[in-house]
């Protein structure tokens, strides 16, 4: 029983890691005051776009990546 629980946990870890790896998007917001940028979950990109536009900026999306969210 312990072996199957370990296999299940390992499979869940692999799935969550691979899912995370493809759910981040790099972005840059060019504003009159300068640049803002980083990596964010794809689900947050609409909120980042609104925030960027509220600063008078333009959002440019980069590639999806395996980087951490920052």
Beta-carbon neighbour count of residue 31 at 10 Å? 15
What pLDDT, on a 0 to 100 scale, did the predictor assign at position 67?
Answer: 59
Please state the pTM of the whole predicted model: 0.61
Give the Å distances, CA to CA, from 39 to 2, 9, 19.
38, 27, 15
Confidence of residue 10 (pLDDT cuts 50, 70, 90): very low
The helix, strand and coil proportions of the chain, stated in percent and rounded to the nearest 5, come to: 45, 35, 20
Each residue's pLDDT tens digit, 37-61: 998 888 899 999 999 999 999 999 9
The two beta strands, 34-41 and 58-65, are unpaired
Written as six digits, the tokens of 65 are 């990546």
Written as six digits, the tokens of 61 are 């999306």
């Amino acid at each position: 029983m312990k072996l199957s629980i370990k296999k299940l946990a390992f499979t869940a870890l692999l799935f969550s890691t691979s899912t995370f790896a493809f759910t981040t998007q790099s972005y840059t917001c060019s504003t009159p005051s300068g640049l803002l940028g980083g990596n964010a979950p794809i689900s947050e990109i609409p909120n980042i776009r609104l925030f960027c536009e509220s600063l008078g900026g333009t959002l440019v999306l980069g590639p999806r990546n395996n980087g951490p969210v920052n």
